[in-house]
Amino acid sequence: MLNRTIAPPIKDAIEFDLTIKPYKKFVLKNGVPVYAVDAGAQSVLQVELVFYAGNVFEKKNGVAAATNFLLKNGTSTLSAFEINEHFEFYGAHINRAAYNETAVVSLHTLNKHLSKLLPVIKEMITDSIFSEEELSIYKQNSKQRLSVNLQKCDFVANRMMDVYLFGKEHPYGKYTVPEDLDALTADEIKVFFKEYYLNGECAIFVAGKLPDDIEEQLNNNFGTLSLKERKEPIPQINFQPAEQKKYRITNDPKGVQGAIRIAQPFPNRHHPDFMKVMVLNAVFGGFFGSRLMNNIREDKGYTYGIHSHLQNNIQQSAWVISTEAGRDVCEATIEEVYKEMKVLKEELIGEEELLLVRNYLIGTLLGDLEGPFQIIARWKNLLLNGLDETYFYESIKTIKTIDAVELQALANKYLQPDQFYEIVVV
């Protein structure tokens, strides 16, 4: 019998042996790969179609995002209202999103309704009509949303930092202006749709309590389409960082807060230092107990929160520090960021702090492996970046074994203030 007068033993997260549930891969009749994780106690599942249809592939700014958004806004037999009503009737959620390299259409549903929903998704990706009326509404809403966002200093800071890091013509750096939205035409969208959806390159990720006939259902709906697997890596596009490193932009003369971004280009996940720097980043500004939080939030009170992260890009990453602070303390905040860089370069991280960071990172991984949707998201991130389970297990090994000396060497290699771009938008 359990003795409740005795506290249970406490185990550090790093003592756990983490494993990631393997996926099952099968290939549809047209060659499209499907990655499936059958797990979970609830009768729910997620189906995500990933198309290589991001803004890397567009010839005109805004076309990829518009095409992806309007997939749900009408086919030759269903109006936008009818499509939405159909998914709501079955208590399902359909979503779509466009990124730099990829664009997705995702479904969350009870598995018993899957056969009623997949045919509608099939119709969306084969028979969307992109009517002038729906395009006009999209333009109007997008311009209104953009107008609101441009009044926010953090929105302006984020997109201008990408311009300085990668160049305005690079897919990671370009951004949409109202004139781009006005210039969109239904014919251009239809051409993009035909090439990158109707005849596009695709991978499918499914997870949850999968029905026994999941392969048959996917084949019946998508296996006969003119889709195909992408076999070649996405070509690397040269980025052109700005020559100037420091920028101060006035966005709202009456604003009381400024958005601060400090960033430098950084290699992607295939670089041998990437996973090691993830540990250094956690110490520096990657979680609530980081150096930047303790100094700039807890001690100085300049901000409610400050964070650093490595961007989740396929081609070229960036190491970014971001925060919003009072207008009068923005420069002081930047000075403190550089002070923390200096400390990491000059002093070894203590064992207690390093253990805390190790436990935090392993605990985060534990959370990411909690359910089928989290597991397939982890696999998708690996597979789309051209990685496999080896990278996952090497990451765990790095977290558990990297020492303070190696972290200090990485700090001296990468935390050089003159390599960082600065932007303050007030």
CATH number, residue 401: 3.30.830.10
72 and 195 assigned to the same domain: yes
- Structural domain harbouring 385: 246-425
Helix H or strand E segment including 44:
strand 44-51
Please give the pLDDT value at position 232. Answer: 87
State CA 383 to chain mean position distance: 14
Tokens 């400050």: give the residue.
Answer: 306
Nearest of 406, 124, 180, 187 to residue 279 by alpha carbon: 406
Please give the pLDDT value at position 180. Answer: 96
219 and 255 assigned to the same domain: no
CA distance 121 to 105: 8
312 and 167 assigned to the same domain: no
Q: At what angle do helices 372-384 and 389-401 cross, to 10 degrees?
A: 100
- Please say if the pLDDT value at position 103 is more than 80: yes
Token pair, residue 58, equals: 């567009």
421 in a domain, yes or no? yes
CB neighbours of residue 144 within 10 Å? 11
- Please say if the pLDDT value at position 343 is more than 80: yes
Residues 27-55: tens digit of each pLDDT = 999 999 999 999 998 999 999 999 999 99
- Please say if the pLDDT value at position 334 is more than 90: yes
45 and 110 assigned to the same domain: yes
Residues 63-77: tens digit of each pLDDT = 999 999 999 999 999
Alpha helices by DSSP H, listed for 48-200, are 63-69, 80-89, 114-127, 132-149, 153-166, 178-183, 186-193
Q: How many domains does the chain have?
A: 2
Mean pLDDT on 256-274: 95
328 in a domain, yes or no? yes
Mean pLDDT on 121-130: 97
Confidence of residue 251 (pLDDT cuts 50, 70, 90): very high
Confidence of residue 293 (pLDDT cuts 50, 70, 90): very high
88 and 166 assigned to the same domain: yes
Mean pLDDT on 130-134: 96
- 38: CB partners within 8 A, 6+ apart: 24, 207, 208, 209, 210, 372
158 and 291 assigned to the same domain: no
316 in a domain, yes or no? yes
103 and 166 assigned to the same domain: yes
